[in-house]
Amino acid sequence: MAHKLDIDALLARLPLFRNLDAAQLALMARASQQVRVAKHQFVFHRGDPANGLYVVAVGGIKLAIPSPSGQEKVIEFFAPGQAFGEAVMFLDKPYMVQAQALEDTLLIWIDKQDIYAAIDHDPSFAKRMLAGLSLRLHALVQDIETINLQNASQRVISFLLKQPREGDQVHFPFNKNVIASKLGLTPETLSRLLHQLSAKNLIRVDGRDVQILDPEALEAQLYGS
Amino acid sequence: MAHKLDIDALLARLPLFRNLDAAQLALMARASQQVRVAKHQFVFHRGDPANGLYVVAVGGIKLAIPSPSGQEKVIEFFAPGQAFGEAVMFLDKPYMVQAQALEDTLLIWIDKQDIYAAIDHDPSFAKRMLAGLSLRLHALVQDIETINLQNASQRVISFLLKQPREGDQVHFPFNKNVIASKLGLTPETLSRLLHQLSAKNLIRVDGRDVQILDPEALEAQLYGS
DNA sequence: CGCTAAGTTGAAAGAAGTCAATGAAAGTGG
DNA sequence: CCACTTTCATTGACTTCTTTCAACTTAGCG
């Protein structure tokens, strides 16, 4: 029963549930289940039915489109506090993407019926949900923009500039294969481009750590060339 | 005042509002405004604030990302009955896309506050809204899949096969420049690829009318080569 | 009828991908 | 703690696909 308490506390901290009253929250907690996924393990595959949504409690998840040729296109990453799988749940369609743990991860799973109940009970929950989906839509449109309107080098630069920075330091959250896929590049191309940027003294790369030497010059590359 | 009556009838027929009761519908109608847009005219530009959503009553709208170099990337088309602009409304962010009329178009505009009121009043409205957003998200993920995992020829083929068919006839809803942009291609490339498919006797092109001669062989190209 | 927008075609350049070999790092088990 | 294996990353040579630029044709519209 210690488990249940954990879930309660976790849920209460999630942005999605912030406005639920105690009773509603308790209901959610009772309906939800913990799911543990080891690194590299799949949460679901393309084609699986979607009966609920997941919230990341601890760890990290990547959503990707599998391709017949074995490679995959990474769509999005999810960190603790973020929900995924809702969109497909509302459509009664099977997943078109696969979810895989990037590290050992603890997920909360909530059944569709309970989500619907919460929507009926609390309009502000519905709004929160709408805002969540809108945010994702926004991000996807941005991705399409990046893929279509920017060349490989500009995509890498935008990505670098979008990453959270500590001083001038950026740290890749995942290995470069995954980053490359997110950017719609091959690992080889990413490697070459990072090398080029280093050669121009715009950045300095050390494994997953990147030092942004000249942010202005980098930004300029997005328009200039 | 004949205008108001028009709107009432129009709104009642929209999928989005199907579950609203008469009072709520009347409220919506009162709050909504008709917007007329001539062909090629813009409904909004990137950067404009979003204070409500639009529903297409008559005509057609394209959403596109503008690019500094003048070209644009078409994101989506909207036909009568479809709503657009909601996602950004929920986020309190300015539009990141621009909306332009593909033909003379009549739009209904509804203020954000009234949408919120409808959500508060009717959970099923919220669910409908959620389903709408989910559908768009789904479509965008599919677009990303198409762009990333398929080459130009496969993209054209998928597009052809996805279009509504009457017998073996497909009709492009817009000019080929717009289609090309939606597929992430240059008009030249699209032209060449259609020509190639014709040469292989898989299709026959006559202006905006395309005859699908061999759907199976077309489909096979998506995997084989 | 004439003008502008849309579509086609060719030749050439360029960007990114593929294949293959090598090197570095990191995890595993004795 | 070290040797070993496996995964990750880099680099070079080459190929391929798509774009670009330019000329030309066709279609649609005032």
Q: What is the DSSP string of B72-101?
A: EEEEEEE-TT-EESHHHHHHT---SSEEEE
Contacts of A148 in chain B (CB under 8 A): 65, 73, 147, 184
CATH of the domain at A77: 2.60.120.10
Domain boundary among A103, A134, A165: A134
Please check the confidence at residue A3 and state whether its pLDDT lies above 80: no
Residues A125 and A66 in one domain: yes
Examine residue B82 and state whether it is found in any structural domain, yes or no. yes
Query: Are A131 and B90 inside 8 Å of each other by CB?
Result: yes
- Our CA angle for B109, B110, B116, nearest 5°, is 160
* B189, B128 contact by CB (below 8 A): no
Is B196 domain-assigned? Answer: yes
Strand C contact with A175 (CB < 7 A): no
| Nearest-5° Cα angle at A202, A196 to A203 | 80
Asked whether the beta carbons of residue B145 and residue A65 sit closer than 8 angstroms, the reply is yes
Q: Are A50 and A89 in a shared domain? A: yes
Co-location of A164 and A82 in the same domain = no
Asked whether residue A24 is assigned to any structural domain, the reply reads yes
Q: What is the CATH number of the domain that holds A195?
A: 1.10.10.10
A207 touches strand C (CB under 7 A): yes
Share of chain A above pLDDT 70, in %: 96
pLDDT in tens, chain B (225 residues): 445 557 777 788 887 887 778 888 888 888 899 999 999 999 999 999 999 999 999 999 999 999 887 789 999 999 999 999 999 999 999 999 999 999 999 999 999 999 999 999 999 999 999 999 999 999 999 999 999 999 999 999 999 999 999 999 999 999 999 999 999 999 999 999 999 999 999 999 999 999 999 999 999 999 865
A88 inside 8 A of chain B by CB: yes
**b vs e for B120-152, b when ≥16 Cβ sit within 10 Å of the residue's Cβ?**
eebbebbbbbbbbbbebbbebbebbbbbbbbeb
Tokens of A160: 């670098």
Provide, as residue numbers in chain A, all residues whose Cβ is less than 8 Å from the Cβ of B116: 127
Q: Name the burial class of residue A154, with classes exposed (0-12), middle (13-18) and buried (19+) by CB atoms within 10 angstroms of its CB.
A: middle
Question: What average pLDDT does this structure show over A172-193?
Answer: 96
B1, B35, B175, B44: which is closest to B104 by C-alpha?
A: B35
Q: Do B68 and A223 touch (CB under 8 A)?
A: yes
Mark yes or no for CB contact B123/A119 under 8 Å. yes
Q: Print the domain residue range for A219.
A: 150-223
Round to a whole number and report the distance in Å from the CA of B207 to the C1' of C21.
51
For the segment A207-214, the average pLDDT, to the nearest whole number, is 96
Whether A106 and A154 map to the same domain: the answer is no
Q: Do A134 and B87 touch (CB under 8 A)?
A: yes
Whether B151 contacts chain A with CB within 8 A? no
- How far apart CA B71 and CA A150 sit, in angstroms, is 12
Average pLDDT score over residue span A39-50: 95
Task: Kindly report the nearest CA distance between residue A78 and chain B, in angstroms.
Answer: 16
- A35 and A107 part of one domain: yes
Residue A224: the pLDDT is: 65
Same domain, B14 and B116: yes
**Residue of B69, B98, B124, B149 to mutate when probing chain A, most A C-beta within 10 A:** B149
pLDDT at position B5 is 52
Rounded mean pLDDT, A87-93: 94
Q: What is the pLDDT, as a whole number, of residue B212?
A: 97
- Alpha-carbon distance of B12 to B81, in angstroms, equals 11
Strand D: residues with CB below 7 A? A 175-177, 187-188, 190-192, 194-195, 205, 208; B 151-153, 184-186, 188-189, 192, 207
Tell me, what DSSP letter sits at residue A68?
T
Among residues B64, B96, B131, the one where a domain terminates is B131
Residue at B60 is within a domain: yes
Cα nearest neighbour of A184 on chain B:
B148
Q: Give residue-wise pLDDT tens across range B84-139.
A: 999 999 999 999 999 999 999 999 999 999 999 999 999 999 999 999 999 999 99
Q: Looking at residues A211-220, what average pLDDT do you find?
A: 95
Q: Of B10 and A206, which is predicted with more confidence?
A: A206
Domain-located, residue A142: no
In A, minimum Cα distance to B131 occurs at A90
How many DSSP H helices and E strands does chain B contain? Answer: 9, 12
Which strand D bases fall within 7 angstroms of a protein CB?
8-13, 17-22, 27-28
* A151 CB neighbours strand C below 7 A: yes
What is the pLDDT, as a whole number, of residue A2?
44
B76 and B103 both lie in a single domain? yes
> Looking at the 3D structure of chain B, how many domains does it have?
2
One domain for residues B95 and B54: yes
As a whole number, the mean pLDDT across chain A is 91
H-helix or E-strand containing A166? strand A165-166
The answer as to whether A141 is a domain residue is no
Note whether B37 and B115 are same-domain residues: yes
Give the whole-angstrom CA distance, residue B60 versus residue B37. Answer: 10
**Per-residue flag: A169 CB under 7 A of strand C:** no
A217 CA vs D30 C1’ separation (Å)? 50
User: With an 8 Å Cβ cutoff, is A148 touching chain B?
Assistant: yes
Is B63 a member of any domain?
yes
Q: What pLDDT band is residue A97 in, cutting at 50, 70 and 90?
A: very high
> Is B144 domain-assigned?
no
A22 pLDDT tier (thresholds 50, 70, 90):
confident
Which pLDDT does position B21 carry in this prediction? 81
Q: Are residues B52 and B122 in the same domain?
A: yes
Which residue of B lies nearest to A87 if distances are taken between CA atoms?
A: B134
Which residue is associated with the tokens 């950026």?
Answer: A170
Q: How far is the CA of B174 from the C1' of D27 (A)?
A: 15
- The answer to whether A129 faces chain B, any CB pair under 8 Å, is yes
More confident of the two residues B8 and A1: B8
Residues A185 and A93 in one domain: no
Position with higher pLDDT, A149 vs B5: A149
* B23 and B122 belong to one structural domain: yes
Which of B83, B99, B131 is where one domain is finished? B131
Please report the pLDDT score of residue B104 as a whole number: 92
Nearest neighbour of B67 by CB, restricted to A65, A149, A184: A149
